[in-house]
Amino acid sequence: MNALLMNEDGSFLSVSGLERSFPVPAGLWRKPERRMVLRGVDFALWPGERVALVGASGSGKTTLLRSLLAIDAPDCGHILCQCKPVRPAGMAKLRWYRQSVQYIPQDPAASLDPRMTVRQQIAEPLRRLGVDCDHDVRIRESLERVGLGPELLLRRRNELSGGQAQRVAIARAIATRPAFLLADEPMSGLDLPIRRQVAAVLRDLSENQGTGLLIVSHDIVDVSRLCTRTVVMYDGAIVEDRPSAELLADPHHPAARELVAAALPDTARLPAPQA
């Protein structure tokens, strides 16, 4: 990856002192106040790494992701990428960032527009961000990268299997050749074979293309099998940030212990990575 894409410390993205609060409506006996949802979050993403972001419901994962995607402004703190601040702004100011950081939504298949063909879906970010390349070539390359052939180009969502739709959504996210993919529960609610396919595609992107991954999940065991580093959030703060294997074997914080215990032995899991 081009050295110019890094921050001064070599990170791809660095987050410092991020705080976010939301108003709590006034009650009969209560003054209006604000509830802290992110409490001084500091961390960095390094080029090409695979990071799991886990935590119980309400711990602040999605709020953090929305700040990283520059669709929600924190109350204070900084996000830096390529030594430039990242904050919500119009397309002209953020085109460079939107091209290098792409999003895979929860239930990516449902995020596909049922009226659009596969070709149109994958072309959409290229067109919207004005990416300067041969779009037809890039669309075919992206499709091939997720293991699908050009015979699907003219199909619509209802003509795709669940696994194919999921992979088309990933093809759309990688069409701009992002340095990092931020994914919100990309495997939740899927049958095991489709989860395996999606995990294999993401692993291939990371290992063979050098694409970094930040994957939000409730399931610490499954996501830690794909990601080498796991960050645990609890009540708006990062309470553990360690290599996944270490964290799974010996979770320190009670919230991490609870997540590991909750991930009961389950035969319907992704296979453990080879040593």
Provide the binding-site residues for ligand ATP, judged by CB under 6 A: 22, 37, 55, 57-63, 218
Work out how close the CB of 71 gets to ligand ATP at its nearest, in angstroms, rounded to a whole number. 12
Task: Name the minimum Å distance from CB 213 to ligand ATP.
Answer: 17
User: Around Cβ 265, how many Cβ atoms within 10 Å?
Assistant: 6
Place of tokens 């293309």: 209
Residue 24 CB, nearest approach to ligand ATP (Å): 8
Q: What's the closest the beta carbon of residue 184 comes to ligand ATP, in angstroms?
A: 8
* β 76-81/84-85 pair status: antiparallel
Q: Under DSSP, is residue 13 helix (H, G, I), strand (E, B) or coil?
A: strand
Angle, alpha carbons 48-52-54 (nearest 5°): 160
Kindly state the smallest distance separating residue 21's Cβ from ligand ATP, in Å.
Answer: 9
Instruction: Output 6 or 231, the one with its CB closest to ligand ATP.
Output: 231
Residue 21 vs 82, nearer CB to ligand ATP = 21
> Are the C-beta atoms of 255 and 232 separated by less than 8 Å?
yes
**Least distance (Å) from ligand ATP to the CB of residue 223?**
13
Instruction: Indicate the residue among 200 and 237 with the shorter CB distance to ligand ATP.
Output: 237
The token pair at 195 is 């989860």
Rounded Cα–Cα distance for residues 238 and 45 (Å): 14
Residue 212, helix vs strand vs coil? strand
Q: What are phi and psi of 16, to 5 degrees?
A: -135, 135
- What are the structure tokens assigned to 63, written together? 């709020």
Cβ-based nearer residue to ligand ATP, 61 or 229: 61
- Closest contact distance (angstroms) between CB of 266 and ligand ATP is 19
Q: Alpha helix locations (H) across the chain?
A: 61-68, 91-100, 118-128, 135-145, 162-174, 192-209, 220-226, 244-249, 254-262
Nearer to ligand ATP, 197 or 217 (CB): 217
Q: Which of 267, 264, 271 is nearest to 219 (CA)?
A: 264
Q: Which lies closer to ligand ATP via its Cβ, residue 95 or residue 218?
A: 218
* Distance from C-alpha of 47 to C-alpha of 11, rounded to nearest angstrom: 6
Q: Which is nearer to ligand ATP, 21 or 120 (CB)?
A: 21
Q: Which is nearer to ligand ATP, 60 or 186 (CB)?
A: 60
Least Å distance, CB 185 to ligand ATP, is: 8
Contact present, 250 and 230 (Cβ < 8 Å): no
